[in-house]
Each structure stands twice: as C-alpha cells, then as structure tokens.
Amino acid sequence: MTNPILTDWNTPFQIAPFDAISDSDFAPALDSALEQHRAEIAAIAENPEPASFANTVEALEAAGEALDKVLSVFFTVAGADSNPDREALQREFSPRLAAHFSDISSNKALFRRVADLWARKDELALTPEQARVLMLTHRGLVRAGAALEGDADARMKEIKSRLATLGTEFTQNLLADEREWYMELARADLDGLPKFVVDAALEAGREKGVEGPVVTLSRSVIVPFLQFSPRRDLRERAFEAWAARGANGGATDNRDIAAEILALRQERAALLGYDSFADYKLETEMARTPDRVRDLLMAVWEPARARADADAEVLSQMMHDDGINGALEPWDWRYYAERRRKAEHDLDEAALKPYLQLDRMIDAAFSCANRLFGLEFRAVDLPLYHPDCRAWEVTREGEHVALFIGDYFARGSKRSGAWCSAMRSQARFPREQAPIVINVCNFAKGEPALLSYDDARTLFHEFGHALHQMLSDVTYESISGTSVARDFVELPSQLYEHWLEVPEVLREFAVHAETGEPMPAEMLDRVLGAATFDMGFQTVEYVASALVDLAFHEGDAPADPMARQSEILQDLGMPHAIRMRHATPHFAHVFAGDGYSSGYYSYMWSEVMDADAFAAFEEAGGAFDPERAQALEEHILSAGGSQEPDVLYTAFRGRLPEVGALLKGRGLAA
C-alpha cells in the first residue's frame, strides 16, 4: 500500500492527511525519504558541470522535499501528542537524522562546490537574497565541520549523533516526570481555592483517570495552585515536585545527561577552533560575543535583584503576620505575592480570569492582526492530529496567505511550555508555497476555558511568532519566516505581547464569561497599573537561568553541572526564596537541543528591541499606526533572514535600541 506520508497531499491547503496516517507509517516513510535525499545530495555533489548557484545552492534548496514532509508530521505529533510508540521512534530517528545531516555537512565534493561559489561570489551577479543564501550555506557547512578532515571529521560525526540521542533522552525523561507525578486533593484541600483552580484540578483528574481533583506539573495547573492554596504543606510538596523534574534519580534523571551534553559541546567547539561553545554559538547571533551577553544580563540583574530583595522583605512580613516563623521559601512567594497584588492593586486573579476567555483572546489576537496587517481569519474544518486542535484559513484582500492551527490545551501527551512551528514554511522556490503554522500551548481546559493574564500574554507571544511565519515574503525557504538569529527571533513574538495591553483591545475582547459585560474600567486600570508587579521575581528567575546557561558554555564544561549551578547562583547572590525559572535537569531550552544553548539570554536581548519597537508606535499615531505597521511588516515580519538582524531593525526604527527601554518597561529603571 502507498504510504500516506509520501503521497501527494491532495487535501485542503495541502495539509498532511492526519486521518490517514498511522504510527506504523513513520519508519518506512523515513527510510524512503532518507534514501531519496541521499540520492539528491549525491547528484548535486557529483554533478560534472561546473558549480553554479542554480545547480548547487538552489539544488540544495530544492532537495529533501519528501524528508521535510516526514519530519514535519512526525515532530508535530511527537511534541504535541506523544505516545510510547512515538517516543520509541524518536529515540530511533534522532541519531539516524544526526548521522544523515552529518554526512551531508562532511561531503567534501559538495563542500568544494559551495566553497568554489563562495570564492567567486563577486563574479556571479547574484541578487541580494541569493548572495545571502550563498553566505549562509557556506557558513553553515563550515560551522558544521565540512572543512574537517580525518579523525576530526569522524569525531564530529560521533559527537553529533550522541548529542541527538542525549537531547531526545532529556526531553523524554522530562515528559515522563511531568506525566507521572500528580497530587490528589481531598475536599478539605480545596478550601481557599478559587473556582477556576478547582475546575482545572478536576479536569486534570479526569485527564489522569482519577476520581476527583489533582494537581499536576502542568504550569497552567500548578502555578495557580501555588498562588492560591493556603495550605503551605501542599504548596511545598507541589513546588518541590515541580522543581525536581529531571532530578528524581532512576531512569528519568537528567543530571548525567546534562553533564555529557556540555562536555560534547565543548569538544565540538574545540574541533572547529573556538575557545568555547559560547564563542562558537554566539558568533552568528546579534550579540556576537559572551561578553556582550553578560553585560546586558548584569545590567538587568542588579536592579532586578534589588527589587526582589525589597519585595521579599514585604512578603516575609506578611507570612510572619500569619504566625509562620522562619524564612520565606520558594513555595511561599507566589501565594503571598498574589495576596499582595490583591491588596495593593485590588486585583484578584480569580475575579480577573472570567474576563480572559480563551476564545475571546484568540479573537483579540486575530483582530489586532487584521487592524495592523489586513489579515482575516476563517475557521475551517479539517482532520488534524488531535481533537483539541482548531484551524483557520488566513487571507488578505481575498487572497490565501496561510493556514493557522491552534492546539491550546494541556494534556499528558504534550510536552510542557508553548511553541510555534511551521509544518510548511513560505517560499517561492522551487514553487510557490504558503505556510502552515501551528501554535501549541498548555492552557487548562474549562467550560469556557479561562486564561490567566500570563496565559493571555503567552497566546499573543506565540501568535507573534506565527505572524513572522505567515507574513514571510522571500524566495528561499532557508531564510523564510523565523529562520533568523536566535536573539532576533523573539522580537516579533515579544513585540506582539504589547497589543494585549492596549486598553481598546481589552475593552473590546475582555468580556465576562457569564454576564458578557466588558471588563470594568477600574479593573482595566488596575490590570494595566499592575503590569510591572512582581517584576523583580520574574526578572531574577529568568536572568539567573540565562547566566547559568552562559557560564555552562563559556569555559570548561563542568563535570558536575548541579554543583556549578550552585556556585554561579551563590556568586550572583540569588535570593533564597527564588529559584531559577529552569533548573538544569529540566532546562529543555538548553539541553533538549542546541537551539537555545548559550542563547537563553535571547528573550531579553529581543526585549530590548521590542520595548523600543513598540515605543515607535506610541511615538507615531498609536498602537495601530498604519505607517509603523507597514514598516514592521516590510522590514521585519516579511524579511525573514534575508539580511542581518541589525540591518533589518535599523531599517524599521532608524537606529538600534538601548537597554533603558527594557528597564523602563519592566519598571526597574531608577
């Protein structure tokens, strides 16, 4: 029988035929796609004709179509709807894929053709976009080890394969810990919890097959519990389980995996002639060097820690007033911070959440995209990979732009966090193709589903990534959409969060789930007034993680990452009652793959730009200024990786930003 993954997808929008694909299709499809891709690469490398941009670089761009189809479907379901079969396949596929792409990057005949073109680049009459693609192709091969010979070449292949295996194990161990742990709640344990927290706990219990409410390690369940439960003993038990993900001993412990990953990365960088993995990784980012990253992080760390220390004194006094002696602990912070927020800003999240319905926040994100960029969204009924998923056709002036899929609810088969990915990226070569973009989140189910303000911000954040994919307008897929420097990719997503805080947006879309009444003006004022509340805590937990990531990769790899983590935090003066947002054993950004390794700082680097970029709207005609929106689309959202990030940002803003805008936006400026 024909494998449905490898057929022509004669489906609406040429989306994968999820209803026809079974797990047994993936392995044979991968076998066939790898064989086809190997043949395509061999034909390019062994072409007897002299190297040209068309027969080498464009041929590389066109190769691998079948493999792209297999991987886009598989990794979509492996991340968002895993099962034991898919986990086993992922363990099998990861080293095979690493070996496959390592073979390509070490193909000497292929590299000679690309290097020849690079040496003759000024003679080739390339368009600016073609010149950019040639540079990235040559640079990518060199950084992957294409120039290595002999033992060094062989060792690089071994390192890549082992890193792929370790990254998969790290991810699956974390998912297993998150999936297996839950804490059942008795009726008395529900005292003091708002209805939305109880409802989320009941839904989590149903998902776990348990009679009654449970607390799970899904952020949308455990964070509200830590905010509202007056039971300090239960908060401690839940928090410590959350903090211990990946460090529970046994088969799912990630500590040794992290140590091996760091050692292999250091060796990889040394083979390529770099002093450290951080030097290697940052070379192609906007930041360029570890010193520039550290300068930014420390400029934010000092005022953030001072704010957190002052806040800790207030929260400690509140705890002591409750008759609890001793130090404020990490499982106390969110509880007392929530009480303080209610007291100082008269802002109660239990009262706020009914105004933040998931469907209305989706509508708000769509509405802003319509006002800024003229996009329109029409719900379409398609067979998708899970019943929770929804799809919309995106059009502009009647023309198809993209297909957008939203997968919003937490479940045990989905890894934690939120992300955006493209099942297909925009391109005009070798043929026109419109993007298919997915936002995946982990919100608690409910009837209706209600979001925290942080959840709503996450929704806007991921939709900002989606717009970067949808509005891409380049020729070559390798520079399409979010194919940009890691410390630039978060600019569109973090910038889009600002539109959630535009008063007219909240007035229109923040309506009560039961009464339909808009959010009262005084509540809206309190929401916006509390925008920087607890920012010391939020900044410290993030910057600590970013500094640990940088330190891990800047010098010799630590034999004991947990001991090194403790040293770094001690040197920073980490407040006792705050933990890293992502401790090493569950720091998936850094250890599940190379994406954010030495790069977790990039959210803050991008925030420097997003604060400055939104100020450009405010300085012009307001949040929906049409000229600024057009400039944002032209110079950033549509441009993909067609130019260096600093060039793109300067074209949009007229200059590069400074850290002051970030400190002001976080309420940390003096």
* Calpha distance 591→576 (Å, rounded): 25
In this structure, is residue 618 part of a structural domain? yes
Q: Are residues 160 and 211 in the same domain?
A: no
* Calpha distance 201→250 (Å, rounded): 28
Assigned token pair, 566 = 């403790």
Q: Are residues 504 and 389 in the same domain?
A: yes
* Calpha distance 288→190 (Å, rounded): 51
Assigned token pair, 61 = 């761009």
In this structure, is residue 5 part of a structural domain? no
* Calpha distance 536→538 (Å, rounded): 6
Residue that is last in its domain, among 215, 245, 275: 245
Q: Are residues 480 and 338 in the same domain?
A: no
Q: Are residues 493 and 524 in the same domain?
A: yes
pLDDT in tens, 589-632: 999 999 999 999 999 999 999 999 999 999 998 999 999 999 99
650 contacts: CB under 8 Å, gap ≥ 6: 656
The confidence score (pLDDT) of residue 625 equals: 98
Give the torsion through C-alpha atoms of 417, 423, 426, 427, to 10 deg.
140
* Calpha distance 288→135 (Å, rounded): 17
| Type of residue at 627 | E
- Any idea what the CATH number is for the domain that residue 548 is in? 1.10.1370.10
pLDDT in tens, 308-335: 999 999 999 999 999 999 999 999 999 9
Average pLDDT over residues 171-193: 96
Counting every residue written for the chain, the total comes to 670
Residue 670 binned pLDDT confidence (cut-offs 50, 70, 90) = low
In the chain, % helix, strand, coil (3-state, to 5) comes to 60, 5, 30
In this structure, is residue 3 part of a structural domain? no
Specify whether the CB–CB gap between 435 and 481 falls below 8 A: yes
Dihedral class, residue 250 (left if φ above 0, else alpha if ψ from -120 to 50, else beta): left
* Calpha distance 64→58 (Å, rounded): 12
In this structure, is residue 4 part of a structural domain? no
Q: Tokens 């400029």 appear where? A: 299
- Find, among 129, 138, 5, the residue nearest to 77 by Cα: 5
Specify whether the CB–CB gap between 357 and 451 falls below 8 A: yes
In this structure, is residue 6 part of a structural domain? no
Q: Are residues 304 and 240 in the same domain?
A: no
Q: Are residues 510 and 560 in the same domain?
A: no
Catalytic residue status for 462: yes
Cis peptide before 48 (omega within 30 of 0): no
Q: Are residues 119 and 48 in the same domain?
A: yes
Q: Are residues 29 and 154 in the same domain?
A: yes
Q: Which of 462, 490, 497, 633 is catalytic?
A: 462
Specify whether the CB–CB gap between 165 and 95 falls below 8 A: yes
Cis peptide before 430 (omega within 30 of 0): yes
Specify whether the CB–CB gap between 587 and 565 falls below 8 A: no
| Domain interval for residue 197 | 181-245
The 3 state secondary structure assigned to 337-349 is: HHHHHHHHHCCCH
pTM score of the predicted model: 0.94
Residue that is last in its domain, among 245, 260, 283: 245
pLDDT in tens, 84-94: 999 999 999 99
Q: Are residues 464 and 393 in the same domain?
A: yes
The confidence score (pLDDT) of residue 669 equals: 82
Number of domains present in the structure of the chain: 4
- Any idea what the CATH number is for the domain that residue 160 is in? 1.10.1370.40
In this structure, is residue 379 part of a structural domain? yes
Q: Are residues 192 and 220 in the same domain?
A: yes
- Find, among 396, 484, 390, 489, the residue nearest to 434 by Cα: 396
Residue 153 has pLDDT above 90, yes or no: yes
Q: Are residues 524 and 543 in the same domain?
A: no
Q: Are residues 655 and 618 in the same domain?
A: yes
Residue 347 binned pLDDT confidence (cut-offs 50, 70, 90) = confident
Assigned token pair, 573 = 């003066």
The confidence score (pLDDT) of residue 661 equals: 82
Backbone phi and psi for residue 399, each to the nearest 5 degrees, phi listed first = -95, 140
Antiparallel, parallel or unpaired: β 182-184 and 399-409: unpaired
List C-alpha distances in Å: 528 to 159, 501, 502, 533: 49, 7, 9, 10
Residue 665 binned pLDDT confidence (cut-offs 50, 70, 90) = confident
In this structure, is residue 421 part of a structural domain? yes
Residue that is last in its domain, among 578, 600, 622: 600
* Calpha distance 177→242 (Å, rounded): 9
pLDDT in tens, 510-536: 999 999 999 999 999 999 989 899 999
Residue 579 has pLDDT above 70, yes or no: yes
In this structure, is residue 2 part of a structural domain? no
pLDDT in tens, 204-257: 999 999 999 999 999 999 999 999 999 999 999 999 999 999 999 999 999 999
